[in-house]
Amino acid sequence: MDATTTLPAPPRASARRRALPRMSALTWTGIALLTLFLLLALFGPVIAGDPNARAGEQLAGPGLRHVFGTDHLARDLFARTASGARVSLLVALAAVAFGLLVAVPAGLVAGYFGGRWPDDLIMRVLEAFQALPLFVFALFVIGVTGTGDSDIGPITVPTTAKVVLLLGVGFVPYFARVTRSATLVEAQEDYVDALRVLGVPRRRIIGAELLVNVLPPVLVQAFLWLGIAIFAESALSFLGLGIQAPQPSLGNILGDATRYLLLGAWWYSIIPGLVILVATVGFNLVGDGLGDALDADGRG
Amino acid sequence: MSDANKNVPNGPVLSRRRFLVATGVLTAGAAGLAACGGEDGSGGGAVEKTGTLAFGVTSISDYLNPLSTTSSRVHWMTESVVESLYTYDAALKSVPLLADGEPEISGDGLTWTIKLKRGVTFHNGDPLTAADVVATFDFVTDPKSTSDWTTYFVGYVKKATATDDHTVTIKLTTPFGVLRSHLTNLPIVHREFVKKTGTTMGTGPFSVGDIAQGRQVSLKRFDGYHGTKPTLTGITFKAVPDPATRMVNLREDKIQIMTDVPPESIKLLEKSSDIRVHEVAAPKDLVTYFVANKKPFDDVKVRQALAHAMDRKGVRDLVYGGSADIAQGAIGPVAEGHDPSLKLYGETPDIAKAKALLAEAGLSSLDFTLMVTSDPVLKNVGQVLAQGWKKAGINCTLETLDISPWVKKWATGDYQMAMTGFDGGFGGGKTAFTLLGALSSQNPLNFGYKNPEVDELLAKAWATTDAAERAAICKRINGLVAKDAIAIPPVYPKLIVAQRTEISVLDEKQMSVSRIDVAPVRAA
């Protein structure tokens, strides 16, 4: 115990942090796009009201009364897009959070035991999951459980939760690999050897010391995957496998809109499509910027 | 930039000039091809050139046996392959086809004797005999066959037997006059094909040719046909699931007929002088069901509140683009028993009336779940209805299910209100047999609705052989069930079919009983 008290503190990520490097123009663009998306998702539904209420004429183009126009059931497209953006964002956040919750412990353990049987076991299982493309996996699950709410024993799993779980499970292998890579590097550090020599329990080394030091690259990766999650949720809902009507999501709005493209209702497809683009590009550029900042920090 | 240039692959680089030249050549080529196509098209179209007709449908079922289902999607493919004992003539009167005259019915109404036409052969050359009719009846009266047709016969038909090669005797458990209508719809299939799923054989003017499973079914002309020979040499049914692609194929003369035209696209198609769109009132019903032995729909006032708060006009205009009639009862405009004078519920939601009825039922608001099948049109209907109900303080949660889980829940009464689309023309013809059948308190699909007067009238309706009498009885039943708000479809949708004008005009009379009679089609 005496030795423990005299041990120099391990290099925390915060301690290594220096002044942020200058952000590139692309990162600023990403921040601007992300701000637009978040404003729409967070405040749009408050301003626009009920996304399912009939608001005017069917398929009216954008104008003063309806900024984004109306849809085929005469609902305000701004209200639906804003509400859909919020739903897509929440699903993406929940899916990424679920993915992290499962992947980070798995990646930490695999990385800590790098090359030994726990590493092999965890990584082979995750690789088996990774071998199955996300959409094939989603099609399989939705094919078995149907597109609506599903009853698993006494529990009813709502469609939204099902989409979150599907995406989250799909993300686990990717997050776990990043966590494992960072842990493999971190586990070679002197302070980890010192902790082992001093008899600090393995679970404390992994759960407390390694975790805080591998989190930054993992969180940057998670930020990048938020954009992918929004895109994946939209794709699932577009195909009718995700969020079901009347609850709007960016994907199911776009899915409905395809029937009206030939009729000249361009706004119905273009606007939700642009919102998906803004969100995915925004998350990607900001994620890249964060990654660059982290690399610069690491080099410094 | 210099790094980026290093990654340029070796090979021809498309310069701006080359790109413009290439796209110019391609555009000019495409325009030329289009021009050639257009001129040729006006000269008669693909049907005149090839002698075959291409029919675009949403899907090609693995089941090509018309005895396993009453679905229009299967029967559109097989209606030129198989024939029934009776058929609808040009005025929609049921007349003998494979039967040699009207059935002889015993005094107690329990024995029907039907003579068969002689000289009729199946596509393999076998003559039509009573054994084929008996095999068909054995299949559709066997509950284990899981055929849709069992609904029409089980419990009524005891046994069909062959008295001789060309005489069939049908024994009934109870007088069942509506059987005469069912015999106009039930296809007679070669006895060896009764249980086959992937193909069929009948006595019609076309036989089944090549089948590319799930994609295409080809029919070829049967030269030994006993009736008027078709001019077409073949018909090809193509699966084109996307409606926009189907419309483009129709405009490009790749198909000459398309079904399931999205209502919103009618105006777009009509802009083309080469295309004619048929909007026909047909047995293409929206059917609604309530579980009436559980709250909240055990109270007639709650159901009536729902009926009064229905936005029928919204459904007609927003979902069907006007291609539907406002509904007032279970029976639509072409079925026996339709009552055009029935005016119980408004076109737009009557909020005050709905709220008053809810208050009488002791409710200030209502929350319930409407279970619909995952068809885009039905989802839209559900959403428009929910919008209307919300104004009356009725909160409707939409539960969208694929057809299999929907049927599972529907058959076990595991729902509050359910709605689906039902193409009843090939099964029920002009009768309301399936629409009203589930309202009998004896029907296993009836969950709690019991009106003794309706039960008594239903028994009379199916017993009589007199179509006019049946229509009058069904009209009374329709009024009663509409008043009890147990069957409250918002609209009666129309059948929408589009065709190229280079082929002869399709018969809209036949469409009103769901048939798209393509056998007589010729190049116009």
| pLDDT per residue as tens digits for the range B205-244 | 999 999 998 899 999 999 999 999 999 999 999 999 988 8
Q: B interface mutation test: which of A57, A75, A149, A263 has the most B CBs within 10 A? A: A263
Give the minimum alpha-carbon distance from A48 to chain B in angstroms, rounded to a whole number.
Answer: 16
For B36-70, give the DSSP string: HHHHHHHTTHHHHHHSEEEEEES---S---TTT--
Q: Is it the case that residue A217 has pLDDT exceeding 70?
A: yes
Kindly list the residues from chain B whose CB atom is less than 8 angstroms away from the CB atom of residue A49: none
Strand boundaries in B402-504, DSSP class E: 417-423, 491-500
The CA distance from B364 to B43, in Å, is: 67
Print burial letters for B287-298: b (CB count within 10 Å at least 16), e (below 16): bbbbbbeeebbe
- State which residue of chain B sits closest to A246, comparing Cα positions: B383
How far apart (Å, rounded) are the C-alpha atoms in residues B186 and B140?
Answer: 9
Contact A73 B380 (CB under 8 A): yes
- Please state, in angstroms and as integers, the Cα–Cα distance from residue A290 to each residue in A171, A193, A213, B388, following that order: 20, 30, 16, 48
Of B384, B387, B401, the CB nearest to A148: B401
Please judge whether B264 and A259 are an interchain contact, meaning their C-beta atoms are less than 8 angstroms apart. yes
pLDDT value of residue B247: 93
Tens digits of residue pLDDT in A248-298: 999 999 999 988 888 889 999 999 999 999 999 999 999 888 888 876 655
Closest to A271 measured CA to CA, from A99, A77, A121: A77
Q: Tell me if A73 and B262 make a contact (CB, 8 A cut-off).
A: no
Query: What is the structure's pLDDT at A18?
Result: 52
CB within 8 Å of chain A, chain B residues 229-248? 243-244, 247
Interface test with B, best of A151, A239, A241, A244 (most B CBs within 10 A): A244
Q: What is the pTM of this model?
A: 0.82
Running DSSP on this structure, what letter comes out for residue B99?
B
Query: Which residues from B are below 8 Å from A258, CB to CB?
Result: 244
Q: Which whole number is the average pLDDT over A207-217?
A: 86
Domain boundaries, chain A: 25-299
Category of A160 on φ-ψ map: left (φ > 0), alpha (ψ -120 to 50) or beta: alpha
Mean pLDDT of all residues in chain A?
86
Which chain A residues are within 8 Å of B390, Cβ to Cβ?
52-53
pLDDT digits (tens, 9 = 90+) for A134-180: 778 888 887 777 777 777 777 888 888 988 998 999 899 999 999 99
Mean of pLDDT values over A65-74: 93
| Residue B44 pLDDT class (50, 70, 90 cuts) | low
Q: Do A147 and B379 touch (CB under 8 A)?
A: no
| Mean pLDDT (whole number) for B115-142 | 96
Burial per residue of B142-164, b for 16 or more beta-carbon CB atoms within 10 angstroms, e otherwise: eeebebbbbbbbeebbeebebee
State yes or no: pLDDT of B26 exceeds 80: no
- The architecture (CATH level 2) of B284-494 comes to Roll (3.10)
Output the pLDDT for position B13.
Answer: 38
**A61 neighbors A71 (Cβ within 8 angstroms):** no
Choose the closest CB to B400 out of A244, A259, A261: A244
Q: Considering only CB atoms, which chain A residues are within 8 Å of B265?
A: 262-263
Three-class secondary structure of residue A88 per DSSP: helix
CATH 3.10.105.10 in chain B, residue ranges: 284-494
Q: β-strands B366-373, B417-423: how paired? A: parallel
Q: Report the amino acid identity of residue A107.
A: G
Q: What's the rounded Cα separation, in Å, for the pair B128 and B203?
A: 8
A264 token code pair: 């000249």
Q: Which 224-243 residues of chain A touch chain B by CB within 8 A?
A: 240
Using DSSP bridges, classify how beta strands B491-500 and B275-281 pair: parallel, antiparallel or unpaired: antiparallel
Distance CA B65, CA B75 (A): 9
> Residues of B with CB below 8 A from A73's CB?
318-319, 380, 383-384, 387
Q: Read off the pLDDT band of A226 (50, 70, 90).
A: very high
Q: Do residue A72 and residue B264 have CB atoms under 8 angstroms apart?
A: yes
Domain A25-299 fold is MetI-like fold (1.10.3720)
Q: Give B 444-483 residues with CB within 8 A of chain A.
A: none
Q: Which residues have a Cβ under 8 Å from the Cβ of A168 and sit 6 or more positions away?
A: A94, A95, A96, A97, A98, A99, A102
Residue of A nearest to B271 (CA): A263
Flag whether residue A146 sits within 8 Å of chain B, measured between CB atoms.
Answer: yes
pLDDT > 70 in chain B, percent: 92
Q: Do A263 and B264 touch (CB under 8 A)?
A: yes
Q: Compute the nearest-CA separation of A53 from chain B (Å).
A: 6
pLDDT one-digit tens code per residue, B307-354:
999 999 999 999 999 999 999 999 999 999 999 999 999 999 999 999
Residue limits of CATH 3.90.76.10 in chain B: 3-33+82-201
Q: Do A148 and B400 touch (CB under 8 A)?
A: yes
Contact B232, B112 (CB under 8 A): no
Give me the interface pTM, i.e. the ipTM: 0.76
B265 touches chain A (CB under 8 A): yes
Determine contact: A260 vs chain B, CB below 8 A: yes
Under the banding of pLDDT at 50, 70 and 90, the label for residue A12 is low
| CATH fold for the domain made of B3-33+82-201 | Dipeptide-binding Protein; domain 1 (3.90.76)
**CB-CB under 8 Å, A259 with B387:** no
Task: Supply the mean pLDDT for chain B.
Answer: 88
CA A258 to chain centre: 26
Output the pLDDT for position A6: 52
Indicate the residue of B265, B374, B380 with minimum beta-carbon distance to A262.
B265
Question: Which runs of consecutive H residues, i.e. helices, occur in A17-116?
Answer: 25-48, 77-112
Compute how many other C-beta atoms are within 10 angstroms of the C-beta atom of residue B391.
Answer: 16
